[in-house]
Amino acid sequence: MLIIQYYCLYQVIFYYMLLSALITSYLGFGVGTYHYNNQFEKLSDKFLIYSIDLIGQGKSWPITNITESDNFCYDIKCWRDQIIDFVETIVKKPVHICGNSLGGFLSIACASHNPKLFKSVTLLNSTPFWAFRTENFITKFIWNGILPVPVNYLSFGSLYFNLLRSANTIKSMLSLVYYNKSSVSDRLIYNIINSASSVYGAEAFTSILFSAKYHMDFEQMLDILKGKINICMIYGKDDPWVTPFWGNTAFNYLDRNIPYFQLYNTGHCPADESSLTVNAILSQYITSVESSDIIITKSSEIFEELKIKFDKKCIQEETHQVYINMIQ
């Protein structure tokens, strides 16, 4: 349970709910709930959808000053606890969790920490690591990200923060990782800049920069969940950040025994770039999980149904075609 008082933005779309299915969407670094608007509009005819801004991002920010006695840092553990607290106190039932980039890492962190709260995990180009600080003789002399931020660290972090949140920098960075450049709209850039406009923005960014690694690696968390919870991977093949190597590595670690969809002509943010394709796969996958009492593996009938339905199919998005390859 988080001890920090903060204003938390979450959106919930109430429509017809298929069986008891819930889909909870969590975000990548530096964005907000707006990044999942395509999921709200297209999937809410079947599912009850929640999306939440992580504290220190979007519109979720502290409403009181954080002091040293709070022992608070913007890190994976903080966001993990926020998500689990949200599911327990707001949703109040197990959910299907879906995360892109940092959101994928967080989804695995949440499910491995409290598996009973999650029916399935869907990873969209999940980053396989977050933060690099480990405790050793050198780093013990360096600030550890716990607020308040020392003045000299805040000066450094603010300089970097203000550079990154400029419109030109954001457009350049997104254009590098989006296959479909037309998705990098002025509205998206505005929303990202607006999300970073809180008076606590530079403080949160600096804390994130110096925060410690999570206590478990990506593979260790997958190991906890392997064979015990439904996991699905939907990865944009043309992502220069989380390249196919990382998706294939996670797939191999899971014994190549889960549904794994590679989307051609799609980059780092498949839910935004190729929303029709992601929505079609996600809807069918979660419906399949809800209708089965067993984990979906290669030996399951549902796995074969998913493969027949989507493998090497082409879906016409608004601006491009997406080819789906279900990796085996």
Q: The tokens of 147 are what?
A: 């607020």
Distance separating alpha carbons of residues 261 and 51, to the nearest angstrom = 23
Residue 20 has pLDDT above 90, yes or no: no
Tokens of 277: 């394709």
Q: What is the mean pLDDT of residues 300-312?
A: 94
Residue 63 has phi, psi (to 5 degrees) of -105, -5
Q: What is the pLDDT of residue 15?
A: 35
Q: Which two tokens stand for residue 32?
A: 């907000």
Lowest-confidence segment of 23-32, 80-89, 103-112 by average pLDDT: 23-32
More confident residue, 32 or 82: 82
Rounded-to-integer distance, Cα 321 and Cα 316, Å = 5
List the single range of 46-60, 72-86, 218-232, 240-254 with lowest mean pLDDT.
46-60
Q: Are 229 and 264 in contact (CB under 8 A)?
A: no
- Could you report the per-residue pLDDT of 257-289, keeping only the tens digit for each? 999 999 999 999 999 899 999 999 999 999 999
Q: Determine the pLDDT at residue 14.
A: 37
**Are residues 125 and 236 in contact, defined by beta-carbon separation less than 8 angstroms?**
yes
- Maximum CA extent, the chain: 59
Contact present, 210 and 146 (Cβ < 8 Å): no
Residue 2: band (very low, low, confident or very high) from pLDDT cuts 50, 70, 90: very low
List Cβ neighbours of 87 (8 Å cut-off, separation of 6 or more). Answer: 24, 94, 95, 110, 117
Picking from 89, 79, 213, the residue whose alpha carbon sits closest to that of residue 144 is 213
Q: d(Cα 44, Cα 55) in Å, to the nearest integer? A: 25
Residue 206 has pLDDT above 80, yes or no: yes
Percent of the chain with pLDDT over 90: 59
Mean pLDDT of the chain: 87
- Over the stretch 95-116, which tens digit does the pLDDT of each residue have? 999 999 999 999 999 999 999 9
Cβ density class 197-220: b for 16+ within 10 Å, e for less: ebebbbbbbbbbbbbbebebebee
The strand pairing partners of 212, in sequence order, are 133
Domains and their CATH numbers in the chain = 6-131+215-326 (3.40.50.1820)
The backbone torsions φ and ψ at residue 72, rounded to the nearest 5 degrees and listed phi first, read: -115, 135
